[in-house]
Amino acid sequence: MNRGQSFLLLLMGAVSLLTLFVILPFVEYVIASAILAFILYPFHRRLTRRLRRRVSTRFGEMLSALTLILSAIVAVILPLAYITLVFVRDLTAIAAGETSINVAAIEAEIATLTGQDPEIGDLLQTGGELLVQTLFGGFSGVLNTAIRASVGLSLALFLVYYTLIDGPAFVGWIRETSPLPAEVTADLVDRVNVMTRGVVIGHISVALLQALVAGLGLWAAGIPNVVFWTFVMAVLALLPLIGAFFVWGPAAAYLVIIDQVTAGVFLAVYGVAVIAMVDNYARPLVIDQQAHLNPAVILLGVFGGIYSVGFTGLFVGPIVIGVLAATLETFREDYDAI
């Protein structure tokens, strides 16, 4: 390696570090935009083919990208923003010691059964404070997080637009510039594609569906702070079979304790007959069978992602681990003999 090559490599490393430093405050939104573009791209490709019959190719691509982004705003971002707002409101209330749950009835029932005097209210408040600290860096960070999220969301939408239009060219550039052999690069890209689709469309979408169905059951049964508990179930539902049960099971018991036996029995039956069935039948149907990731690994990615980058880590964490798994699998198959 001559001096020119060494200098160029040093310059590339320095500029890469500077680039990372510049985008680091919004890195989760950059990754989230890539994930959203990844999900929307099949629809973009089909819509572009239809529009090409009426307009030029480039204008068709632009019109398709704008249409899909507007559709995503209406169908996903606005509802998610509302749910997030309600979740933050309920979470900060719990962290401040304010909750609609009949804590006194629970403490009295536990005291009757065990002879102990538990402080359920204090436990809820401590858990709320821990979540506020983890997600937002404390109460003072909630407003800063909201402002940063608004800016990051605007940036993400612009990135989604340009990723939909220029994404295939970028993937082609990666294939051409990769130092790996062409067949290894193609294998790695295919594995990352399958793994990402399996994680996003499989594990996460099924968990969100199960949480939504369970949240409707909690709402029908009269459980307070439904949005908050639905968010909790969305995380726990990444554990097959038993995840969401950690919320709706105690919720059914809570209703019985406060003398709402009919509602408690309804929620228990609904949980077994409907919520559990969503996991049993939807997961095998939706998840790509080639994306084999242990649910415990997915859950680790969710918690690690939330702790590292905030709410968007719910999606970013599992994707990062999935890409790592795809890379390791490619190395094992293509370089194991070396």
The rounded percent of the chain whose pLDDT value lies above 70 is: 87
Calpha distance 105→181 (Å, rounded): 66
Calpha distance 99→136 (Å, rounded): 20
Burial code (b: 16+ CB inside 10 Å, e: under 16) for 235-271 equals bbbbbbeebbbebbbebbebbbbbebeebbebbbebb
What pLDDT, on the 0 to 100 scale, is given for residue 286? 61
What pLDDT, on the 0 to 100 scale, is given for residue 143? 75
Most confident of 14-18, 229-233, 278-282: 14-18
In a domain, residue 224? The reply is yes
Residues 329 and 186 in one domain: yes
Do residues 279 and 206 touch, judged by C-beta distance below 8 A? yes
Residue ending a domain, choose from 148, 176, 204: 176
What pLDDT, on the 0 to 100 scale, is given for residue 218? 92
Q: Is the pTM of this model over 0.75?
A: no
Residue ending a domain, choose from 140, 157, 176: 176
% helix, strand, coil for the chain, step of 5: 85, 0, 15
- For the segment 262-279, the average pLDDT, to the nearest whole number, is 87
Is a pLDDT exceeding 80 seen at residue 155? yes
C-alpha torsion 87→90→96→100, nearest 10: -160
In a domain, residue 110? The reply is yes
Domain count, the chain: 2
In a domain, residue 2? The reply is no
In a domain, residue 218? The reply is yes
Calpha distance 61→48 (Å, rounded): 5
In a domain, residue 15? The reply is no
Could you tell me the residue range of the domain that residue 58 belongs to? 24-176
**Beta carbons within 8 Å of 59's beta carbon, 6+ residues apart:** 51
What pLDDT, on the 0 to 100 scale, is given for residue 104? 75
Calpha distance 251→100 (Å, rounded): 13
Residues 188 and 329 in one domain: yes
Residue ending a domain, choose from 114, 141, 176: 176
Nearest in space to 206 (alpha carbons), one of 298, 301, 324, 77: 298
**Beta carbons within 8 Å of 145's beta carbon, 6+ residues apart:** 135, 136, 137, 310
When comparing pLDDT for 281 and 230, which is higher? 230
What pLDDT, on the 0 to 100 scale, is given for residue 270? 92
- For the segment 18-23, the average pLDDT, to the nearest whole number, is 86
**Beta carbons within 8 Å of 68's beta carbon, 6+ residues apart:** 40, 43, 44, 47, 164
- For the segment 101-121, the average pLDDT, to the nearest whole number, is 72
* Band (204; pLDDT cuts 50, 70, 90): confident
Do residues 195 and 183 touch, judged by C-beta distance below 8 A? no
Calpha distance 194→188 (Å, rounded): 10
Nearest in space to 135 (alpha carbons), one of 95, 77, 97, 76: 95
Residues 267 and 240 in one domain: yes
Tokens of 325: 């798994």
Tokens of 284: 């095998």
pLDDT mean across residues, the chain: 79
- For the segment 74-94, the average pLDDT, to the nearest whole number, is 80
* Band (288; pLDDT cuts 50, 70, 90): very low
Tokens of 328: 């390791």
Residues 169 and 189 in one domain: no
In a domain, residue 99? The reply is yes
In a domain, residue 220? The reply is yes
What pLDDT, on the 0 to 100 scale, is given for residue 219? 92
In a domain, residue 217? The reply is yes
When comparing pLDDT for 314 and 186, which is higher? 186
Residues 98 and 140 in one domain: yes
Name the residue with tokens 């049993």.
280
